[in-house]
Structure 1
Amino acid sequence: MTLLPVTDGPAVVACNTCRFSAEARDDAQGVRGGARMVEALRAVQASDDAYARVAVQEMPCLFACQDFCTVHLRGAGKVGYVLGRFSPGEDAARAILEYARLYAESEMGQVPFKQWPAGVKGHFITRTPPQGFVVE
């Protein structure tokens, strides 16, 4: 394993080796769901300047294999979140990036539930404390 330095701001880190779905590892073209999710996130980000502040990063295996198409949302000094069970594509990517935009604008990573895009509701797996802190 090698650690690759990336920007330290708000980011969506997508697992590029995630399963396509609970039933299938790859899509009809033989591509992993995680790779498709990375493609969709990058395409949506490139199409809308509102998402420019959030980096789209990728890495192999976030160890959430049962929760296919998994992403980790993180930012310096903010609570992080792991979300999964997405169908890789534009709708999921837009919902993830919209939540990430609100997350980036928040003080500690907490976005009021009433502001959550419908596409992320029911997809949260865990929240993680920022380095050096726990949630009170």
Structure 2
Amino acid sequence: MLTPVTPGPAVVACNTCKLSADQREDSEGRRGGALLVAALQAVKASDARYADIAVQEMPCLFACTEFCTIHLRAPGKISYVLGRFAPDEDAARAILDYAVRYATSEHGRVPFRDWPQGVKGHFITRAPPEGFVAE
């Protein structure tokens, strides 16, 4: 049921998420999550700044009241679930830009002033790493 991945900063995208609040798939039958995964992979491959951020995918993050959700995580850091993204290059770039700042932060907290505009308003939850609670 679990597949091992290399530890480190990662954007884990739900590949089964619906396309939007009102639509499950696009006109070609593709889910929003699958489209977002493809956009994340394409943007990551296009820019060396994202080399240290893994893009991983899995079915269902259980954020089904939202759409196009991702889980941002790294060992020893607060993790976040974000959603309500358009499954496109602009959203993927904003997610990866935030992930780079997140990866270099001490505990997973990125000052609001450093957030890319494209992630503002997309946070759903945060969770502390195992063995900790957030202040």
- TM-score, normalised to structure 2, is 0.99
Find the aligned partners of 2:6 and 2:33 in 1 and give their Cα distance: 21
Find the aligned partners of 1:7 and 1:91 in 2 and give their Cα distance: 26
Residue 73 of structure 2 aligns with an amino acid whose one-letter code is R
2:133 is aligned with 1:134: yes
The RMSD of aligned alpha carbons is 0.5
Q: How many residues align?
A: 135
Match of residue 97 from structure 1: 96
**Corresponding residue SS for 1:65:** coil
Provide Cα deviations, 1:96-135, integer angstroms capped at 9, x if missing partner: 0000000001010000000000000000000010011101
Runs of 4+ in 1 over 2 A off after TM superposition: none
Find the aligned partners of 1:119 and 1:59 in 2 and give their Cα distance: 23
Match of residue 7 from structure 2: 8
Match of residue 57 from structure 2: 58
The offset of 1:19, in angstroms, is 0.2
Gaps of 5+ in 1: none
Find the aligned partners of 1:27 and 1:134 in 2 and give their Cα distance: 40
Match of residue 124 from structure 2: 125
Gaps of 5+ in 2: none
The offset of 1:7, in angstroms, is 1.1
Find the aligned partners of 1:5 and 1:51 in 2 and give their Cα distance: 21
- TM-score, normalised to structure 1, is 0.98
Residue 84 of structure 1 aligns with an amino acid whose one-letter code is G
